[in-house]
Amino acid sequence: MFESLPQGRLIVITRPLAQAGELAEKIRAQGGEVYFFPLLEISPWPDAAPLRAVAARLADYHFAVFVSPNAVRYALPQILSAGAWPRTTRAVAVGEGTARDLRAAGIKDCLYPHPQADSEALLALPELAESNVRDKRVVIFRGGGGRELLANTLTARGAEVERVPVYQRSRPDAGWAEFSARLAAGEFAALTLFSSEALRHLVERCPPELTATLRQLPVFTPHARIAEAARAAGFLDVKK
């Protein structure tokens, strides 16, 4: 996905710092340099009561869906503190990275799509077809204000779906002066973007006089939906 990042050049990583380490290592292994500029910050959902309530009765659900590594990070400790993972509840992950984090915590039997990692790919799995989820109980651990496609589709297929927010996103204000100065100086070789929300924050906060410069930077993204949003925002060189 990011194998063609420019070598020996400064690459902007816009992921939250807790999730940026693996990509930074890959860039450095290719001889590149890294500039950390997180466009989103992740923190626990302020009301933990819904999570505690679901954790106490997780065995009542046939499927427990984690929409991201952040969902695992913020939901799983509370779940496991309430007891062992129920044998009757199937863990479901939106992609391989999320599944890897579940396995690292001891949840071995995890359903996830590969190689694509999104709600569309997850919903295409035969295990989540209408015949397999009708009248089944599903809990989705996610961020506040996330996409509704997964929950709405499973509901339409006859599942009883419960949404549990376990983390929230915020848009940090720090670092814009330095980022703008280095952007104006032509120091950046490329941007990496991992969410449409981060893209919107970048475009909205970029100084108007630097918008054209920003849009000329190559953009690398892991998902076609984000790539499409970047092109719609005026970026000229978008790679998936």
Q: Which CATH class is domain 10-40+172-239?
A: alpha beta
Regarding predicted confidence, which is higher, 174 or 163? 163
Which tens digit of pLDDT belongs to each residue from 206-224?
Answer: 999 999 999 999 999 988 8
Q: What is the DSSP string of 203-214?
A: HHHS-GGGHHHH
How far is Cα 239 from Cα 222, in angstroms, rounded to an integer?
8
Residue 183 CB partners (closer than 8 Å, separation 6+): 206, 210, 213, 214
How much is the pLDDT for 6? 67
Which tokens in the block code for residue 56? 């106490």
* Residues, the chain: 240
Which tens digit of pLDDT belongs to each residue from 45-65?
Answer: 999 999 999 999 999 999 999
CB neighbour class for 228 (10 Å; exposed up to 12, middle 13-18, buried from 19): middle
Regarding predicted confidence, which is higher, 227 or 7? 227
Does 10-40+172-239 match 43-168 in CATH topology? Answer: yes
CATH of 43-168, one of 3.40.228.10, 3.40.50.10090, 3.30.559.10, 3.40.30.10: 3.40.50.10090
Chain centroid to CA 170: how far? 14
How much is the pLDDT for 17? 86
Residue 205 CB partners (closer than 8 Å, separation 6+): 171, 176
Question: Any idea where the domains of the chain sit in the sequence?
Answer: 10-40+172-239, 43-168
Residue showing tokens 């376990």: 166
Contact between 198 and 170 under an 8 Å Cβ cutoff? The reply is no
Which tokens in the block code for residue 195? 């969410």
Which tens digit of pLDDT belongs to each residue from 20-40?
Answer: 988 999 899 888 999 999 999
How much is the pLDDT for 117? 85
Quick check: 8 pLDDT over 80? no
Pick from 161, 163, 164, 165: which is nearest to 144 by CA? 165
The residues that bridge with 12 in the sheet, in sequence order, are 35, 191
How far is Cα 33 from Cα 25, in angstroms, rounded to an integer?
10
How far is Cα 5 from Cα 233, in angstroms, rounded to an integer?
21
pTM value? 0.83
How much is the pLDDT for 116? 85
Residue 73 CB partners (closer than 8 Å, separation 6+): 18, 101, 167
How far is Cα 26 from Cα 167, in angstroms, rounded to an integer?
27
Quick check: 126 pLDDT over 70? yes
